[in-house]
Amino acid sequence: MCGLAGTVGIKLSNNEKNNLLKKMYNRGPDSQKFQNIFKNVNIFHSRLSIIDLKQRSNQPLTIGDCVIIYNGEIYNYLELKKKLISKGIKFKTESDTEVLLQMYKVYGLNFLSYLEGMWALCILDKKKNQLIISRDRFGEKPLYFFHKNNKFFFGSEISYFFNSNLFDPKINFKKIQDYLYFGYKSLNKSEKTFFKDIEIFPSSSIGIFDLSSGNFKIKKYWMPEINHEPLKTINKSKKIISDIREILIKSVKTRLRSDVETAFLLSGGIDSSSLVSIASNFLGRKINTFSLVDTDDRYNEKKEIDFTVKDTSCKNHIIEINKKDFFQKIENNINYYHEPLPTISAYIHNELIKNIKKNYPKTKVLIEGNCADEIFAGYYDHYLQHLKICKDVKIKKFNENLHFWKKYIKKNIRNKYFQMHDIYIKNENFRDHIYDGYFELKKLFIKNNNYSFKEAFFTDDLLKNRMMNELFYEASPVILNSTDRNCMMYSIENRNPFLDTNLINYLYSLPSILFIQKGYNKYLLREAMKGLLNENIRTNRQKKGFNASINSLIDFKSNEFIDFFNEKSIVDDYVNKKKLNKILKMKKMPNYMSKFIFNYVNTKIFLKKFN
C-alpha cells in the first residue's frame, strides 16, 4: 500500500514538490521519492513496505523505456512471476511491483486481465509517449484526477490537489446537497467530488494520456460475467457449494501473502467470522483479531464475536465506543479526508484503526470482511427481490421462502418498506428505500432538491441488478473509500478477500434463486462455510452490521453540542434548525435520522474548514 501522484504540464516549485511528498507520508512512511521524467512530467511515490521490504523495491521503478508508480497489492504475483520466468524474464527484486511492470512490457494493455489484486497505478511508456493510468476492478484503491487545458494532475488523495497555486478548488454545493438529502448511497452515482474540477477516476478502468496532444481517454477494461437467465434451475448444488468454498479459501490464502504482521477485523457477522475461521480452522494460522463494540443493544455484537473467538482460539482485542472528543475527532478526520465522512461506520472504523496503530504498532496489514452483502445477497431488501423472482417462476419455493421470511426475518426488520413482502411483486421498479429516510426527512429541508433515482442497468434479473448497483455505485465504493482512508491515515494496509474476481464471476453466473433459501440470506456462503464456521454464527439470521447509534457518539445535552448547533453556518440554508432541534430531543431516534444528524454535523464542520 502506497501513495502516488503525478503532474503533466504543471510547474511545481521545489517547495511544492516537498510539500506534496510530506502529504503522502502517511500512505508510505518507508520511502518518499520524486522523479522528473520529461521537462513537464513529474511523478511522486511514497511506499509502505509490505512485500520485499528492501530498498531495491522502492518506487518509481524503471525497466527500459517504462517507469511505474503503483499503490496496492497483486495477490497472484508469484504465479505471474513464474509465468514470466518461463518466457525468459529475469528479476532483480522479490516485489510485485517489478512483476506488474514486466507484465505490461510483455502483454501490453491486456496485462490487466491477468491481475488479481487491488491497485491504482501509473505507467509512463517513454517509447509510446503515453501515461497509462488504471484502477482495480472494484475501486479498492483510490485515485483522483484533474484535467483541464492540457494540464493533468492525478493522486491518491484529494489533499494532494491543494498543494499547487494552479488550483483554487471550489466547493461543489450540488454534492453537499445530495449528501445531506440522499445520504451516502448518492455519493458515487457520478465521478464528481465535493470540489469542482477534481474527479474520481472510475474503477475497472484504464486511462491513456497522450503526452503529445494532451488528450486523455478513459475506458472500461472489465465487467463481471453475468448469467442472464436467473430463473433457470440448476441441479448441481453440491458442486456449486464446493466451488465457492474452494475459491474463497484460495482468496484468503493469497491475501495472507505478506512480509509483515497481518491481523483480521472481526465483527459478529458471518462475513468477517468466515474469513477468520478459514485462516484459523482451515489454513492453521495463529491470528490476532480486533473488534469494536457499541453499548447500544441494536449494534452490540459482543456475544457473537465471542462465539468465533472461542471456536478459532484467535487472540481478540475489544475496543469500546465512547463520546470523548467526538467533535475534535470528526474535525481531524475531515481535515484528512478533505470531504465529509460518509457514514457513522466510517467514523467508528477510524476509531478502531487508530487504536490498533497506537496499541499494536507491529500490525501493518488488516483483512476485512467488506462487500460480502453485495455479492452473496446479504441485505434485508434482497429477501423481497428474491421473493419476486420466486413468484415469477411460479414454483413452490415462493410459499416456502415467504413462510421462512415471516417466521424468522420480519421480526428483526425496523425499516417499514422491508416489512412488506410483496413490495417488488406489486412494483418491480420500487426504489424509494434506497435513499434511506428521504421522504421522512423532507420536512427538514429548506431548499428543494428534486428526488431522482438513477440505477445502472446490468441485467434483467432484479436481484443481481440491485446487487451490482450496490457493488459498483451505492454501497461498496463508500465502504472501500472510507476503509482505505482510515487505514492509510495510520499507515496500515487493508485487504478484502470477498472482492475476488473469480469468486464474483462465479457467483454472478449462478441463478438468483439459489442466493436465499429457508430464511437465510447469503445462503451460498453459509453452506460453503459448513464445518469451518461455528454454527451459532453460520445459522444466525439477524443482521446488525458494523454500525453505532448517534447517541453513542454525541451528548445532545452537552454545552459543546449546543454551542456547535447554534453556531451559524451555510448548512442552515438547507436544513430547518427549529425542526431539527425537536428531533434531537428524541430519546432513541430511528436509524435514518441518526444517519442524517451525523451527515449534518459533518457538513457543518466540512464547510467551516474548506469554504
Q: Which residues pair with 121 in a beta bridge?
A: 70, 134
Which residue ranges in the chain fall short of pLDDT 70?
A: 164-166, 228-235, 295-298, 544-547
Q: Which residues pair with 63 in a beta bridge?
A: 66
Phi, psi of 192 (to 5 degrees): -75, 145
Whether 264 and 277 have beta carbons less than 8 Å apart is answered as no
User: How far is 294 from 46, CA to CA, in rounded Å?
Assistant: 35
CA dihedral 590→477→253→355, nearest 10 degrees, is -60
Determine the angle formed by the axes of helices 380-393 and 462-469, rounding to 10 degrees.
160
- Quickly name the fold that domain 2-220 has: Glutamine Phosphoribosylpyrophosphate, subunit 1, domain 1 (3.60.20)
Residue 547: per-residue pLDDT: 67
Could you tell me how far CA 476 lies from the centroid of its own chain?
5
Give domain limits for the chain. Answer: 2-220, 237-375+474-506+522-538
Strands of the sheet containing 2-8, edge to edge, are: 31-38, 41-47, 2-8, 151-155, 144-148, 199-200
Whether 467 and 375 have beta carbons less than 8 Å apart is answered as yes
User: How far is 495 from 257, CA to CA, in rounded Å?
Assistant: 11
Q: Would you call the peptide bond into 60 cis, given omega within 30 degrees of 0 as the criterion?
A: yes
C-alpha cell at 319: 475496543
Number of Cβ atoms within 10 Å of the Cβ of 593: 19
Residue 63: per-residue pLDDT: 97
The per-residue pLDDT for range 71-106, each reduced to its tens digit, is: 999 999 999 999 999 999 999 999 999 999 999 999
Phi, psi of 265 (to 5 degrees): -90, 135
Whether 123 and 115 have beta carbons less than 8 Å apart is answered as no
The per-residue pLDDT for range 247-274, each reduced to its tens digit, is: 999 999 999 999 999 999 999 999 999 9
Residue 164: per-residue pLDDT: 67
pTM of the model as a whole: 0.95
Q: Residue with C-alpha cell 451516502?
A: 184
237-375+474-506+522-538 maps to which CATH number? 3.40.50.620
Amino acid at 181: Y
Whether 31 and 46 have beta carbons less than 8 Å apart is answered as yes
Q: Which residues pair with 207 in a beta bridge?
A: 133, 218
Q: What angle do CA 176, 374, 462 make, to 5 degrees?
A: 95
Residue 551: per-residue pLDDT: 82
Which of 237, 312, 301, 318 is CA-nearest to residue 278? Answer: 312
